[in-house]
Amino acid sequence: MADGLDEVQDIRALVPPEQRQGDVISPSRAILTLSKSMLNSGCFSLPYAWKLGGLWMSFVLTIFIAGLNWYGNHILVRSSQYLAKKTERTALDYGHFTKKVCDNSHIPFLRNNSKTWMGVVNMTILFYQLGMCSVAILFISKQMTFLLDKSLSGSEHTDMIIAATIAFVFILITNMFTKMKVVSVFAVVSSIFFLIGSSVIMLYTIEQPNQWARLPAYTNFTDTVIMYAMSMYAFEGQTMILPIENKLENPEDFLSMFGVLPTTMILSTVFMIALGFFGYTGFGDKTESTITTNVPRDGFYSTINICLCLQSLLGHSIAMYVVFDMFYNGFQRKFLMRFPNVPKRAIDIGFRFFWVFVTYLMAVLIPRLELMISLVGITAGSLCSTVYPPILEIITFWDEWKVNMSSRERAFRIGFNIFVIFVGILAIIAGLYSNILQIINTLYPVNVHVSL
């Protein structure tokens, strides 16, 4: 009985040992791709987030957020791999995994509405990915206007629109590639630009007189929640977890002790803590919404902004891959049913152009980087990392836990998942409230000022 219990609880025994074929990537490529999806333009707003939350409160919260994300990503993959083998599927994306969970549940309400729940999860992921991509465009346009400074003659908003339009043309080109192998190459090249840019920025911040002794340890509730939201967004790779796992040559390499997920989470967490700490302590109250604008715009440092623009340009296509991977096949099938004579290549190009253009419109209509990051991070980011995975794990393993766990073990596992869900929902409620206050104070800085 004990041997049987060990086999059931060891998730490695549930993952098929055979390797996947076709459009697959190696563990090193997977680490680079997942790391790039997490370490993106949102990271450079972390010093500003630490400024909002206070030095030591932000330090503790960053570790807490990293732990929540790691746990949510781990149980999401573990549940997906288990259910994929149980239903004899090679792999499952987030939406179809949700549908399979509901289809295999003993709860009639879930079974009868499995497509609806799949749609809810898909819409959350869509909003999250579009938000991330619009932030990438905003980041690029902010760097361009910062570098050009007085070269553009319009207002700040007009200059941003011009820069965003230029970025849109190049971003559109990078989004025309369909294979994960190509996207992983983009991730490698983008990572090189990211490492160059972030390393120089880190060195510049360390050279500044360190102000940690006089910085506040914590601030107020509203700003702390905004900090939580921006830090949650910084771990932007939540929705890339399953697409990358689905393309991994050997699925066992994803959750193993030194596998793709643990390696990526450790590297990402260390980098984010270092950037947040040294960025905030280096510039203190003068920390900008993105630390790249605290760096000089001339000489050697101007090349750093160019590197970061290029990494965000390629990073946009990595984030959009999730949208194309989840929605394109269904869209193409339904479109061809109504318009069978339209070439598939034209459908593919039109589909990609539409969604990239949507991210451009979002960037133009909401031209405040910190507001977009906070709003996307606290809503879709929290749902994808701390709400959906625990719910899906409980439903997936409910029968197995009843048979193979003691009542105490089962109560602890379920209770901990409920705690994570509660934290996620509470963060969403508080985050939405704080974001509304921040938007009001931003739009009406003189006439209305609301605080908590």
Nearest to 296 by CA among 108, 130, 147, 450: 147
- At 450 the pLDDT is 42
Q: Give the model confidence (pLDDT) of 299-339 as tens digits.
A: 677 777 788 888 888 888 888 888 888 888 889 999 999 98
Distance between CA 314 and CA 173 in Å, rounded? Answer: 10
Question: pLDDT for 249-290, tens place per residue?
Answer: 888 889 988 899 999 999 999 999 999 999 999 999 999 888
Span 327-381, pLDDT tens digits: 888 899 999 999 889 999 999 999 999 999 999 988 888 766 566 666 776 777 7
Report whether pLDDT(245) > 60.
Answer: yes
Domains, the chain, ordered by start? 21-443 (1.20.1740.10)
Q: What are the pLDDT digits (tens) for 147-166?
A: 776 556 667 778 888 888 98
Look-up: residue for tokens 């294979």?
Answer: 179
The DSSP line for 287-306 is --SSGGGGS-SSTHHHHHHH
pLDDT band at 177 (very low <50, low <70, confident <90, very high): confident
CB 302 within 8 A of CB 160: no
Residue 413 pLDDT: 94
Burial 31-43 (b: 16+ CB within 10 A, else e): bbbbbbbbbbbbb
26/12 Cα distance (integer angstroms) = 18
Instruction: Identify whether the C-beta of residue 160 lies closer than 8 Å to the C-beta of residue 70.
Output: no
- List, for residues 94-146, the tens digit of each pLDDT value: 888 999 999 988 889 989 999 999 999 999 888 888 888 888 888 888 878 87
More confidently predicted of 434 and 250 = 250
